[in-house]
Amino acid sequence: MMKLQPAEILVLKSGWLTTIQDLGRHGHQHYGVSVSGAMDSFSMIVANRLVGNPDQTAILELTLKGPELQFEQDTVVAITGADLSPTLDNRNVPMWRSMLIPRGGQLRFGVPRAGTRAYLSIAGGIDVPLVLGSRATHCASETGGLHGRPLKQGDVLRGGKPAPLITQPIGTELPAPLRPCYERSATLRIIPGPQQMFFKKHSLTTLTQAHYTVSPQSNRMGYRLAGSKIAQKDTASFISDGTATGSLQVPSDGQPILLMADRQTTGGYPKIAVVISADLPLAAQLAPGDRIRFVLCTVAQAQRLLRIQHAQLDVALPPCDRHYT
Amino acid sequence: MPFRSHTRRSHHPKKESFRILPLGDSALTIEFGNVINSEINSRVVAFAKTVFNQHWQGIHDIVPTYRSVTVHFDPLQWDSATLAKRLKTLPRREPGQADPQGILHEIPVLYGGEWGPDLEAVATFAGLQPDEASALHASIQYRVYMLGFSPGFPYLGLIPERLAMPRRSTPRTTVPAGSVGIADHQTGIYPIATPGGWQLIGRTPIAMYRKGRADPFLLKPGDIVQFNPIDRHEFDRLSHKSAHGND
């Protein structure tokens, strides 16, 4: 049984948007606190399980252009989600598989081959303070993570105490059939939203028959979509109410906005539909220019699909319920 | 006094005083009406507290807004139909029932100048002098209808009709923390510096979001706010005090 020291990671280059995330800051939305957390929770959970961490352990979320990191201790890590061409000391390294980075090792990322967001888990997690019960970074409110901001050059990340390696040997991997396949277009299943009466009769048909393109005005808060206009009956009378991740809200210009992890807790636009939880990880991997087709689904179907997704994952990689202090 | 339950009348949907709507597969929105008034909002706030007090496992968030409550849940632990059924059996306040008094907060505000760059525009909109407009804004107590937008941002209302100026056509890229703004019939306070489109009429030195505290949010839904006009000297004194944690 091999014992590891807590990780110590030096940020040589920050990458485009590298943040510390977990499964989100729940329980404070009624005070206006965004949930945030990993955009692609499936890849994030897999990354944690591969290195023997509990699902909610803080990890790094990398966006399109990954960082350059130097590991000052022998460290067990796993990379999942988008393929951003990871290399260790200039040699390609596998994804969806735990590996040992020896002391002094430098992890770099290159061109994005598929997907948008990659997840780097570190055995033992990342030691930043809990803010309102979570380590997730919400940059807009400078909350959580490392001083509420993305990583920058010169930062040093310290790890929590890793599990002894006997619990999750190096080389653990997610079976290939369970690995998602990211393309430049995605089909996302939706449930009709709570405000149908604010839209014209054929609006849902328009939404499901057209293709929408993710516009450059897209970020962790939401994706502005471009495509067929969704006609509203009455744009002025809607009173702000609660939003959910995956909500498709429609401002008066008729172009839907897909709300993502950093969404505001309440919003002043009616919601025509909501993307199902099982498809949000796929939505998280889209980039500006990518195309979306929406398909209708029922709440019961959506909840069954999510249960199947998680049951399959639990069989392949059982959750680790060890808790860190 | 115990709340009266509507369960026995649930086969008469027209008599229901609320509707439960799916917001995707991990949230339900319980709508109590479609207008902004304190009666509906007080039923919303009371229902949100009732749901919270059940301490059900797998309920992530309970978000009261002007006229609805959104309940976020873990879809691996709940299905929407079961949760909706449980929510329907909970006691709800009847329309017209008295609202328990919320906590009254006196919020000092320095109106106008660089602290309230839109006060003159609001005054012009209202057909008043700037000092008359700020006096009118501070003349009545406001209800905290909901918190949203950013951590601790209170939506207060309703403001006097003649002050109800719409949002700026182009939002500012940064609004300083503490700014007091107007948007239609609402007034609010920016807890942190964010982009924002409300008409800014003043600024408070009191922190809405006190980072690092166990309970960092000053205002809660259902609370009452009374704005008190202050001068520059008092603003600086209170800012200094607030910065040193004595607020």
For residue range B85-137, list pLDDT tens digits in order. 999 999 887 766 666 778 999 999 999 999 999 999 999 999 999 999 999 99
Q: With an 8 Å Cβ cutoff, are B26 and A271 in contact?
A: no
Q: Are residues B67 and B131 in the same domain?
A: no
A303: contact with B, CB 8 A cutoff: yes
Mean pLDDT of B173-179: 94
Q: Are residues B47 and B154 in the same domain?
A: no
Q: With an 8 Å Cβ cutoff, are B147 and A31 in contact?
A: yes
Minimal Cα distance from B63: which residue of A?
A30
What are the tens digits of pLDDT across the range A174-200? 999 999 999 999 999 999 999 988 999
- Percent of chain A, pLDDT > 90? 86
Q: What is the ipTM of this complex?
A: 0.95
Q: With an 8 Å Cβ cutoff, are A277 and B26 in contact?
A: yes
In which domain, by residue range, is B193 found?
104-243
Query: What is the count of structural domains for chain B?
Result: 2
- Percent of chain B, pLDDT > 90? 74
* Confidence at B222, pLDDT banded by 50, 70, 90: very high
Residue ranges of domains in chain A: 8-172, 185-311
What distance in Å separates the CA atoms of residue B92 and residue B48, rounded to the nearest whole number? 10
The residue among B89, B119, B150 that closes a domain is B89
Examine the pLDDT at B4 and tell me if it is beyond 70.
Answer: no
Minimal Cα distance from B185: which residue of A?
A239
- Percent of chain A, pLDDT > 70? 96
| Sheet bearing A91-92, strands edge to edge | A91-92, A86-88, A106-109, A68-71, A8-13, A156-158
Contacts of B173 in chain A (CB under 8 A): none
- pLDDT at position A222: 95
B97 belongs to a structural domain: no
Examine the pLDDT at A236 and tell me if it is beyond 90.
Answer: no
Q: Are residues B134 and B214 in the same domain?
A: yes
Q: Are residues B134 and B222 in the same domain?
A: yes
Q: Are residues B189 and B80 in the same domain?
A: no
β-partners of residue A62 are A118
What are the tens digits of pLDDT across the range A60-110? 999 999 999 999 999 999 999 999 999 999 999 999 999 999 999 999 999
Q: With an 8 Å Cβ cutoff, are B25 and A247 in contact?
A: no
Of B22, B79, B148, the CB nearest to A266: B148
Q: With an 8 Å Cβ cutoff, are B149 and A191 in contact?
A: no
Q: Which two tokens stand for residue A68?
A: 């350059």
- pLDDT at position B12: 40
What are the tens digits of pLDDT across the range A114-173? 999 999 999 999 999 999 999 999 999 999 999 999 999 999 999 988 776 656 678 999
DSSP string over A169-197: -TT-B--GGGS----SEEEEEEEE-TTGG
B49 belongs to a structural domain: yes
Instruction: Find, among A323, A4, A14, the residue nearest to A146 by Cα.
Output: A14
Q: Are residues B49 and B118 in the same domain?
A: no
| Mutation to test the A interface, candidates B21, B23, B44, B83, most A Cβ within 10 Å | B23
Q: Are residues B148 and B185 in the same domain?
A: yes
Minimal Cα distance from A242: which residue of B?
B70
Q: Any idea which fold A185-311 has?
A: Cyclophilin (2.40.100)
Residue of A9 and B6 predicted with greater confidence: A9
Q: Are residues B126 and B79 in the same domain?
A: no
Mean pLDDT, all residues of chain B: 89
Domain CATH number, residue B65: 3.30.1360.40
- pLDDT at position A90: 96
Mean pLDDT of B175-195: 94
What are the tens digits of pLDDT across the range A47-72? 999 999 999 999 999 999 999 999 99
- pLDDT at position A5: 84
What distance in Å separates the CA atoms of residue B136 and residue B120, rounded to the nearest whole number? 14
What are the tens digits of pLDDT across the range B51-74? 999 999 999 999 999 999 999 999
Mean pLDDT of A273-295: 98
Q: With an 8 Å Cβ cutoff, are B27 and A140 in contact?
A: no
Q: Are residues B72 and B128 in the same domain?
A: no
Instruction: Find, among B156, B151, B157, the residue nearest to B215 by Cα.
Output: B151
The residue among B61, B89, B117 that closes a domain is B89
Q: With an 8 Å Cβ cutoff, are A239 and B36 in contact?
A: yes
- Percent of chain B, pLDDT > 70? 89
